[in-house]
Structure 1
Amino acid sequence: MNKEYKRSISLTLIFTIAVCMVLTGTLTYLSTSLTKNIMLDLVNENSFRQVQACSKAIGKWIDSKETLLYEWAIPIKEDGKIDKDDIEILKRRLDYTSNKFVNLFLISKDGIKYDVNDKNENVKFRYFYYKLMNGQKYTSNVEKLDSFLILNMAIPIRSGGKVIGAIGGSLDLKYINEIMEEFKIIYDDSYSYLVDRDGYILLHPDMTMIKENVKIESDRISEEIVVKFKNVLESDMGILEYNFEEVHSRAYFIEIPGANNWKLITKIVTDSLYAPVKEKTDRLLLLATMGIFIIGIVSIIIGRVIAKPILSLSEDVTNKTKELKETREYDKLKTEFFSNISHELKTPLNLIFSTTQLLELYVKKGNGVLEENVLYKHTKILRQNSNRLLRLINNLLDSTKIESGFMKLNLKNMNIVEIVEDITLSTVEYVSSENKEIIFDTDVEEKIMAIDSEKIERILLNLISNGVKYTNPKDTILVKIEDGEKFIRIIVKDTGIGIPHDHKEKIFKRFTQVHSLYNRQKEGSGIGLYIVKSLVDLHKGNIGLESEVNKGSTFIVELPIYTIGEECVLQSKKIPEHEGDTRRDIEFSDIY
């Protein structure tokens, strides 16, 4: 009985251990397989992102050289022709060691190529001459110049809308090699190379591979490579697996932006790519005998150790991509802003200039005497456009003050209801002249609180100005005050064109004019609502927007109710009529 019991216990123990071992092995195998797949996906993703970053860097480098050529062409095209004297300008350019050009040249309209090394020749019957004279850029294949591996690039020079010649240079491609080395993926036997759109290898660590064509079978290029690289040349980006010199490899390829359909290809030996992952996952399998609990802990620790540098690399690439996107958005916003400001400055200046010319003409024709109606009409134009310039300058100065923290409030305890009512009523005549109606309403007759009356006037005139600008004839603008327990709400509502839902967050940003995103029917620099929000923020208030396209917009300003440590002013100080008119005229000066 004891033997049978012991035998039963032993069998049960053996069976339990065996089941635990099987379960442990199964769970460990599944766990390591899943971990392996996740890590391989991360390796692939990060390798491809590294190739993308390298491609963008090369494209940016080539684009910067092209930009230099455009800059250097400016003093040349001003002459309207190209001759050998112009080459002296380019000779001085080569004194700057940072430009990466080893040679510069000019091509005249009649086909003479002037070289900074005084190696002049006639290229009139060369393919690149024909291409340049037809207004197209030209990029050559890789060539050898002395000890340099070079790439020739050239752009047409236009004067008066016509091509008068071309400017070009020879780039030392060692700098592209430096970029590829900087972004190199650290694996054994991995390297990057360039292929042009016709399949010719432009750059390669193995110099004997340069000018080999991946579309043509040879001693170095197998039939498999020819077949598989057809997809590389026809696609913008992707991943390719192939055998090169009997070694299974993986290639990540992507088109270089602005480089005449070049492809950057990064080759990694598959075993080198997967070896670190395989080594770690095999180690996890060996630890299966130590039990479910130990295996689980070890798996988590090792998984984290392995994944940490890869995840860190992924996060780093993501951050860099985000920074690049933000930089592009900032550059785009800056470009749009300067274009907008240029328009806003030029338009009133042109009108002022034209009006003064007309006045001079009238004076000459009228023997120095001007009719009253003519004089009034043109002085009105001068005043409105002068106000428009003054408004733009004030807005720019105020936005700078706000950004630098120099904008301050002059708070006084005043009747906000009377202030808002006076400002609104001061615009009635102007709004009526635009065939529109403005209405003031309030549910409280008096509310004493700490405000800066000039800033409140600026806020309200800007919102009313927008209401007048973006409404149609016979539309209505409502200015209303609502009394809350802890705040006063000022509402400016119109029945105009409205604002799309996805643009509501943009209108309070600096230099943004929502309607300029899809038309240019209304004038404005895009600073006004940014200043409005900033002035509301200085009052420790909030501004919101409710809008529907083609039905109108409602701006809601909420200001906290409090007083400062002085005796409350029961009557607000009246703004002199001429000052109120002047401020109104300035604020409404861009409405036509």
Structure 2
Amino acid sequence: MTKFKMTIKRRMVLLVLIALIPLILLQLIGIMSQYSERIEEELESSLSIAQTVELTFMNYLEENWSQQYAIGMAIIANPEWKREDIDKYINNVLSGKQNLKRYSWISPDGIVLASSNEEIVNVNARGMEFYRRILSGEQKVVSNLREDIINDNNLIIHIARGIYADGELKGIMLGILDVEALSEILNIQYTGRSVKYGLIDKAGMLVHRHKEPNIPLSERKIETESRLFKAFSEKNVKFNYPSQFDSTNRLGAATLIEDIGWLSYYSISSAEVLSSLMRYARRDIAVLFLTSLFSILIALFVGNKYTSSLERLKDAADEISKGNLSFETNFTGSDEISATNEAFNRMTREINNQISQRDEVVMLKTNFFSTVSHELKTPINIILGAVQLMDKMEDISKASIQKYIKMQKQNSYRLLRLINNLIDINKIENNQFKIKPVNYDIISLVEDITTSVVEYTELKNIEIVFDTEVEEKIMAVDPDKIERMILNLISNSIKFTDSGGKIEVIIYDKEDKVQISVKDTGIGIPEHMQESIFQYFTQVDDSLHRKAEGSGIGLALVKSLVDMHGGTVRVESTVGEGSEFIIELPVILLDNSSDTIEHTSFTNVERINIEFSDIYLKVEKTPNS
């Protein structure tokens, strides 16, 4: 009987098989992990789209409420208008609102005084939900789903706005929205054949379900024990359960629209989600099988020559599969195995590099778009609102024109400030931002900057004080950039200091250094945020800066400008007591005395208006301003 010999080729095959077994297990575990991750990704995506549905619907409501306010104020401003004049005005407005069935002007006692539908003039609306809620104190109301009993029994919702003058209710503007129009309003981009999204009102009635407009009212009640219904109490929910409308198992999420007490939701068929996952799983198994077969053939072919090298490569592969991505092999030579080794090492380095870059890019992208989109949207909305109001007002006074132009100008300053900061960030990141130092009196420069902003501190009843240890200190600085640093720090102090507070700007002479302190009695900065606030797009926690907005760019620019001067900047702060930002600049003189310039005021009104646009806007919005 021939004795079985464990030849090198057989050993190679055995080693390959042994190596492939854990890889197969890892692949199966990976498939299971991908299943869980895919489900979780879909649920997270569903929540994001549900929030997009919420934002789209709320934007539509806010647009209607704003227009209703403009219409109501126009009616109040023209008491000589007869019903026919009001009807004509309402019909002109409604002609541009194709989604609405009709508009009506209702008296404070609930009688329809004018309407785009003459049939409902003089109808009593006291029993309507929107009327009761307006009388109870709500200014903006969207009603629950109901049938249009006046017209055609279609399903509708009421969008109403109370119109007040001098604190007194003068009337109610009412818009009627046919729920079928929500298909056009909620035009959300999505992928998937089985996608469903829509809205649920406060009473738990299905207001809209994508591509299913004809569900009878009696079948629209959401089951109270469903996960979807729990969003009323839990705000955000994710679910994976059979739908009550088509009995298919669906993945999705729902979020509470807190402003109106409704729900927005999004879901997709579980089968559709898993079908793509199964395709990938079959592909991975096929790839694994082919790879295994090919590896065995290679093992049989190379034989003794590469046994040792393959064993070492297998050990390296095991390390990588365990997550040790820094592991590298150290073969020497010029054959194929050595070349493979070098490629293997490059791959691990590239994987590490790509993982780091991906995480950084995702974080920066998220912070950037979240911050910039909000900072751009707010002033643009205000400018657009002012333009629309001016456009709608037939007899506009000169004072109103000046008011709206002033509003647009200040918000333009705010946009210009953000755009300038973004441009400067780009220049700094690409080493294109340079300073132009000259020998200059830093004391006079900072004093002039401080006194130039007294007007803004007085708007908030904040005391600002300048003090210095020396009367003159000549040193090489870029006055323009110093001005920008100090304005930014004072601007922050004003924004985060309440009325009656105090801001101190003090210069200390440290012989070979100059220390500039900007200290306030504001809300303070938590200790864990005091390092990160000098990074781009970083802001203090929402609970502390809710009353002031910003892009999170200013302090990062201050640090960059200080660094360019060879100095340092730090913050010392206690929550609830205030903050002190301390800039230290080295005292350096340029050799060329011709670079020394006489003192002039480098501050200019336009720059201060831009830098302090947020403060001006905030003060302008207060009731007493």
Q: Which residue of 2 aligns with 1:103?
A: 102
Give distance in 1, aligned partners of 2:31 and 2:580.
59
In the TM superposition, what are the counterparts of 1:116-265 in structure 2 within 5 Å? 116-119=116-119, 120-128=121-129, 129-136=131-138, 137-143=141-147, 150-187=156-193, 189-204=194-209, 205-213=211-219, 215=221, 227-228=225-226, 230-231=229-230, 234-238=233-237, 239-242=239-242, 244=244, 247-255=247-255, 257=257, 260-265=260-265
Shift of 1:496: 7.3
Shift of 1:112: 2.3
In the TM superposition, what are the counterparts of 1:256-405 in structure 2 within 5 Å? 257=257, 260-292=260-292, 323-329=369-375
- Cα gap change, 1:556/1:241 in structure 2, threshold over 3 Å: closer, same or farther? same
Shift of 1:274: 0.8
CA contact (8 A) 1:540 1:560 kept: no
Q: Which residue of 2 aligns with 1:480?
A: 508
Q: Which residue of 1 aligns with 2:588?
A: 561
CA contact (8 A) 1:477 1:493 kept: yes
Give distance in 2, aligned partners of 1:518 and 1:70.
30
Q: Which residue of 2 aligns with 1:40?
A: 39
- Cα gap change, 1:142/1:32 in structure 2, threshold over 3 Å: closer, same or farther? same
- Cα gap change, 1:319/1:49 in structure 2, threshold over 3 Å: closer, same or farther? farther
Shift of 1:439: 5.7
- Cα gap change, 1:573/1:81 in structure 2, threshold over 3 Å: closer, same or farther? closer
CA distances 1:226-279 after superposition (whole Å, capped 9, x unpaired): 632553554433224125578441252424636733323334222112111022
Larger mean CA deviation between 67-76 and 254-263 belongs to 254-263
Shift of 1:290: 3.2
RMSD: 6.3
CA contact (8 A) 1:508 1:533 kept: no
Quick one: which of 524, 541, 544 aligns to 2:569? 544
CA contact (8 A) 2:255 2:263 kept: yes
Give distance in 2, aligned partners of 1:458 and 1:159.
43
Query: Structure 2 counterpart of 1:556, which letter?
Result: I
Shift of 1:413: 4.9
Query: Structure 1 counterpart of 2:89, which letter?
Result: I
Give distance in 2, aligned partners of 1:234 and 1:458.
48
Secondary structure of 2:102's aligned partner = strand
Shift of 1:90: 1.1
- Cα gap change, 1:87/1:498 in structure 2, threshold over 3 Å: closer, same or farther? closer
- Cα gap change, 1:72/1:513 in structure 2, threshold over 3 Å: closer, same or farther? farther
CA distances 1:3-24 after superposition (whole Å, capped 9, x unpaired): 2336999998997787667555
CA contact (8 A) 1:194 1:263 kept: yes
Secondary structure of 1:29's aligned partner = helix
CA distances 1:478-533 after superposition (whole Å, capped 9, x unpaired): 6433344xxxx322458975883458787999xx999xx7899xxxxxxxx99x96
- Cα gap change, 1:151/1:16 in structure 2, threshold over 3 Å: closer, same or farther? same
Secondary structure of 2:217's aligned partner = coil
Give distance in 2, aligned partners of 1:449 and 1:317.
38
Give distance in 2, aligned partners of 1:465 and 1:282.
60
Q: Which residue of 2 aligns with 1:383?
A: none
Q: How many residues align?
A: 469
Query: Structure 2 counterpart of 1:122, which letter?
Result: V
Query: Structure 2 counterpart of 1:133, which letter?
Result: L
Shift of 1:171: 2.6
- Cα gap change, 1:61/1:289 in structure 2, threshold over 3 Å: closer, same or farther? same
- Cα gap change, 1:82/1:135 in structure 2, threshold over 3 Å: closer, same or farther? farther
In the TM superposition, what are the counterparts of 1:9-28 in structure 2 within 5 Å? 23=22, 25-28=24-27
CA contact (8 A) 1:82 1:164 kept: no
Structure 1 residue ranges without an equivalent (≥5): 217-224, 301-311, 337-391, 427-433, 521-528, 587-592
Larger mean CA deviation between 99-108 and 455-464 belongs to 455-464
CA contact (8 A) 1:194 1:265 kept: yes
- Cα gap change, 1:540/1:154 in structure 2, threshold over 3 Å: closer, same or farther? same
Shift of 1:66: 1.8
CA contact (8 A) 2:250 2:270 kept: yes
> Which TM-score applies when normalising by structure 1?
0.58
Give distance in 1, aligned partners of 2:202 and 2:481.
62
- Cα gap change, 1:27/1:82 in structure 2, threshold over 3 Å: closer, same or farther? same
Secondary structure of 1:182's aligned partner = coil
Shift of 1:180: 4.0
Q: Which residue of 1 aligns with 2:63?
A: 64
Shift of 1:155: 1.8
- Identity across matched positions, percent: 14
Secondary structure of 2:3's aligned partner = helix
CA contact (8 A) 2:43 2:251 kept: no
Secondary structure of 1:197's aligned partner = coil
Query: Structure 2 counterpart of 1:90, which letter?
Result: I
Query: Structure 2 counterpart of 1:177, which letter?
Result: S
Give distance in 1, aligned partners of 2:134 and 2:578.
54
Query: Structure 2 counterpart of 1:198, which letter?
Result: A
Secondary structure of 1:5's aligned partner = coil
Give distance in 1, aligned partners of 2:169 and 2:470.
65
Give distance in 2, aligned partners of 1:125 and 1:324.
43
CA contact (8 A) 1:202 1:211 kept: no
Q: Which residue of 2 aligns with 1:490?
A: 514
Of structures 1 and 2, the larger Rg is shown by: 1
Give distance in 2, aligned partners of 1:293 and 1:499.
67
CA contact (8 A) 2:49 2:266 kept: no
CA distances 1:208-237 after superposition (whole Å, capped 9, x unpaired): 424134558xxxxxxxx5632553554433
Query: Structure 2 counterpart of 1:195, which letter?
Result: I
Shift of 1:124: 4.5
Give distance in 1, aligned partners of 2:599 and 2:362.
60
- Cα gap change, 1:55/1:252 in structure 2, threshold over 3 Å: closer, same or farther? farther
Give distance in 2, aligned partners of 1:259 and 1:169.
18
Shift of 1:167: 0.7
Give distance in 1, aligned partners of 2:165 and 2:446.
59
Larger mean CA deviation between 318-327 and 51-60 belongs to 318-327
Query: Structure 1 counterpart of 2:274, which letter?
Result: Y
Give distance in 1, aligned partners of 2:419 and 2:22.
70
CA contact (8 A) 2:466 2:505 kept: yes
- Cα gap change, 1:450/1:62 in structure 2, threshold over 3 Å: closer, same or farther? closer
Query: Structure 2 counterpart of 1:131, which letter?
Result: R
Secondary structure of 1:44's aligned partner = helix
CA contact (8 A) 2:524 2:578 kept: no
- Cα gap change, 1:154/1:245 in structure 2, threshold over 3 Å: closer, same or farther? closer
